[in-house]
Structure 1
């Protein structure tokens, strides 16, 4: 859909990112996030759209504050309802922003029902997103302290006289392995929760593709897939080679795209300060939700804006930040048990809300 069409059907647009968190600096970009409801053909026909995340610098629109902005995403209602129901931290906060440059009655209706989306699942999603920040910190710290010296080659992984398996070959086999494992549990007695965990709550295919198969699983994988031993071994070597190549490419991209000022702060502190700050922010936010059933997006309102700024300024060591994260995770485990939030959101109520919002907006 064109920008003008999306904006004409928007129900709200909010100011998110560092400005929403109350942590902006003079050079900070403006991050706008919003929701729109697609027209009739996208609901009843074959057309599909989940979000609009480009075109604000090239297409005409209704809202001048979006002109030329590179950090704008406007989600279609069903996409964001799905993300909200899954307690996605990046979208949950959009219903608790302090500033909405554009807000309709339909948007107000969605925001007024925001607590429908809160559940104990926030413990897992907020800590999961925080863990992703920690992984980035660890990767960047490793690159800072011990940068890779050369591009990996197949011989580094014992692949001498044969071609490594192509990415498509590796992924096809891992997909097959995933289907076999899923098939083994699908019809087991009392397997519903395990099946859901494997197929929905965990991106098992992503895990398989990211981590090489450990030695102790090779024989079982060979037996289960009727694979030849040389294929399984080559699979492991090829996967290791691909992972190393992916890390090398990520390192090169990181080197080329780093903000110079941020790179200098990283060099002095030995870790990525922005990832460290977001890790702590996410864990504190998750704790607040479990305790109060409310989200405080603006950290000035939460009272820890200056503390988070101190992390960005490099006033806390890597060890201090990781210790803070460990303590928050431990505290979250305790608060989770005491939280009065439901274990999961009421999907029937959420579905009815979605229908009501679409009907309020109308097809015209």
Structure 2
């Protein structure tokens, strides 16, 4: 959709990112996030749209504050409802921002019902996003202390006479493996919880595609898929090669694209300070939600903005940040047990809210 059409049908646009967290510097970018409701043809016809994330510097619009801003994303209502229901941290906070440069009655109605989206799922999503920051921190730290010296070769993984399986071939086989595993447990009564985990609560398919098959699973995989032993071994070695190749490309991208000032701080401290700060912010926020059933986006209001800035300035060591994270995870486990939040959001109420919002907006 064109920028002007999205802006005309927007129900709110908020100031997020570092300004939303109260952690901005004079040179910080302005990050705008919002919600729009698509017109009739996108609901009743074949057209689809999930979000608008470009065109702010090339297309005409009605909001001058968005002109030329490349850090703007406006989500279509149904897309953001899905993300909110899944307790996505980056999206949940949009309903608790302090600054909305633009908001309509429809947007206010959504924000009025924001607590519908809070559930105990926040423990898993906030800690999951925090662990993603830790993983990036660890990757960057490894590259700082022991950078890779050369591009990986198939021969490094004992792939000599044959070609390694391509990413597409690996994913096709792992998709097949996933379907076999799911089929084998689907109708076993004693495996109901495992099946639920496999198909809903964790992205098991994603795990299969991201990590190399362990040695102790190869024989079972071979039997499940009726494959040759040499093929399964090639599969495992190809996975290892593709993982190494992915890391090599990530390393080159990191070297080429990182901010010079951030790189210098990273060199001095031995880890990526921004990832460290966001890790702690996410864990603290998740803990606060479980306790208070509210989200405090602006960390000045939460009382830890200066502490988070101290992490950004390198006043905490890598070991200290990791210990903070470990303690917060342990505390979150305890609070989760006594939290009065529901385990899952009420999907029927959320569905009714979505209908109300669309009806309030209308098709014109």
Using the size of structure 1 for normalisation, the TM-score is 0.99
Which residue of 2 is the match for residue 348 of structure 1? Answer: 348
Structure 1's 176 and 73: CA in aligned 2 closer, same or farther, altered over 3 A? same
Counterpart of 1:217 in 2: which secondary structure?
A: helix
**Cα distance in 1 for residues equivalent to 2:56 and 2:302:** 32
* Residue 46 of structure 1 pairs with residue 25 of structure 2: no
**Cα distance in 1 for residues equivalent to 2:2 and 2:235:** 44
| CA offsets 1:37-88 (integer angstroms, 9 cap, x no match) | 0000111111110111111011111101101111100000001011101111
**Cα distance in 2 for residues equivalent to 1:195 and 1:35:** 35
**Cα distance in 1 for residues equivalent to 2:214 and 2:194:** 22
Counterpart of 2:162 in 1: which secondary structure?
A: coil
**Cα distance in 2 for residues equivalent to 1:187 and 1:47:** 37
**Cα distance in 2 for residues equivalent to 1:10 and 1:129:** 28
Which residue of 2 is the match for residue 118 of structure 1? Answer: 118
Which residue of 2 is the match for residue 154 of structure 1? Answer: 154
Q: CA deviation at 1:347?
A: 0.7
Which residue of 1 is the match for residue 210 of structure 2? Answer: 210
Which residue of 2 is the match for residue 173 of structure 1? Answer: 173
Q: CA deviation at 1:201?
A: 2.1
Q: Extract unaligned runs of 5+ from structure 2.
A: none
* Residue 185 of structure 1 pairs with residue 179 of structure 2: no
* Residue 316 of structure 1 pairs with residue 306 of structure 2: no
**Cα distance in 2 for residues equivalent to 1:145 and 1:213:** 28
Q: CA deviation at 1:196?
A: 2.8
| CA offsets 1:146-185 (integer angstroms, 9 cap, x no match) | 1000000011000111111111111111110011011111
Q: Extract unaligned runs of 5+ from structure 1.
A: none
Which residue of 2 is the match for residue 32 of structure 1? Answer: 32
Counterpart of 1:174 in 2: which secondary structure?
A: helix
* Residue 267 of structure 1 pairs with residue 277 of structure 2: no
Alignment of 1:1-364 (within 5 A): 1-189=1-189, 191-364=191-364
**Cα distance in 2 for residues equivalent to 1:191 and 1:48:** 37
| CA offsets 1:290-348 (integer angstroms, 9 cap, x no match) | 00000000000000000000000000000000000000000000111111111111111
| CA offsets 1:84-134 (integer angstroms, 9 cap, x no match) | 011110000000000000000000000000001001111111011001000
**Cα distance in 2 for residues equivalent to 1:192 and 1:222:** 25
| CA offsets 1:187-246 (integer angstroms, 9 cap, x no match) | 121544432321222121211111111111001100110000110000011110011000
Q: CA deviation at 1:254?
A: 0.3
Q: Structure 1: which 4+ aligned runs deviate by more than 4 Å?
A: none
**Cα distance in 2 for residues equivalent to 1:251 and 1:343:** 39
**Cα distance in 1 for residues equivalent to 2:51 and 2:37:** 10
Using the size of structure 2 for normalisation, the TM-score is 0.99
| Aligned-residue CA RMSD (Å) | 0.8
